Amino acid sequence: MHGIHPHAHYLAQEVRALATLPDGTRRWLLYIRDWDASWQDYYFYAEPFVLPRGTELTMEFRFDNSAGNRRNPHFPPRRVTWGPRSSNTMGDLSIQVLARSDSDREILAADRRPLEMAEDIVGFETVLDAEPGKVTVHDDVARLYLLFGEVAKALAHFRESARLEPDSPAAQYNVGTTLLRMGELDEAVARFERALRLDPDYAPVHNNLGAALRSQGRLDEATRRFRQAVRARPDDEDALYNLASTLTLRGEFTEAIALYRRVLALLPDSPEPFAELAWLLATHPDPTPRDVQEAVSLAEHAAQLTSRRDARVLNTLAAAHAAAGRFDEAAATARAALALPHDNGSDLAATIRQLLDLYSEGRRYRRPR
């Protein structure tokens, strides 16, 4: 333990923090008998100390919402709720620790954020219990629910925002995007179209509407929407990627390749566009030697980004090796892809096995013209 950070507003009166060690020993971490909001700060211990595994940390904040509290911002006193503003009330306590190793630090960082978000959800829901008409709070808690994967709860809050502000294109967009994530395509399309009637220039709506239409198999309409999104935001990597992948489905490979190159410049650490461009180059009916070399390079980069643990990426790398005439490597890479955890009955596994047969015969895969 290196330091401690208490955070409370004007109604807080007393702040306590204790550590209970595994043997039952209790150690004070912080005690402020008469809290002042101006004391929100980071405090560092003169001598850092170690807390053993199994230590329990507890905090206790006492509040005074009476007229006798000289720091009370409300006179006469009134009911207050949790919130980040100084007119609200809250009590947080953070501690600063130094992990013993990088792996411990990574575990600590990964564990901390979900706990903070869970606390925020409780706080936002408490605010809405008292003030259910706060659209921004509905939106904030909905986004947190999405991060937790609780999509139905997020949708309920986004729907309430749209009910409260029916003429808000952002509210319609949020509902549509959540429905798209849930696979409710018909209503998602309807929500996106309503958002565009309210604001025809809302570029993200064009992109997500295109995604919904593509999922419905309406590739021509999806392509038009993605083009509109790209025209509105030429450097929007999501719109560019979606347009490129949809053109690939339509067999318009030349334009798709050009678009993927633009995506690579915007997303140098994302394996998907590297792998997809590599696949297009490697499986071209008549690739140039330069295309084959680039396909191998792109696929190798994607494999490095995924630590060679992505079967789709390894399948692409195998195809690139085969295009370069390196059939033994292609077969070995295809076997490595099959060895990764996946559904043995999946379409991908079946495809890899078919391609492995080609490589074993010294042949490469060429996509149809």
- Domains, the chain: 3-98 (no CATH), 196-273 (1.25.40.10), 286-369 (1.25.40)
Q: What are the start-end ranges of the H helices in 183-288?
A: 185-198, 203-215, 219-232, 237-249, 253-266, 271-282
- Give 67-71 contacts, CB < 8 A, sequence gap 24+: 69/10, 69/11, 69/13, 71/10, 71/11, 71/36, 71/37
pLDDT tens digit sequence for 49-70: 999 989 999 999 999 999 999 9
Share in percent of the chain as helix, strand, coil (round to 5) = 55, 10, 30
3-state secondary structure of 57: strand
Q: Is the pLDDT of residue 99 over 90?
A: no
Q: Is the entire prediction scored with pTM above 0.85? A: no
pLDDT for 368: 82
What length is written for the chain? 369
DSSP state for residue 88 in the 8-state scheme:
S
- Which pLDDT does position 108 carry in this prediction? 83
Q: Predicted confidence band at 82 (pLDDT cuts at 50, 70, 90)?
A: confident
Is the Cβ–Cβ distance between 262 and 240 less than 8 Å? yes
Coil/strand/helix, residue 275 = helix
In order of 1, 63, 186, 230, the CA distances from 235 in angstroms are 45, 51, 29, 7
**Among 9-23, 81-95, 168-182, 282-296, where is mean pLDDT lowest?**
81-95
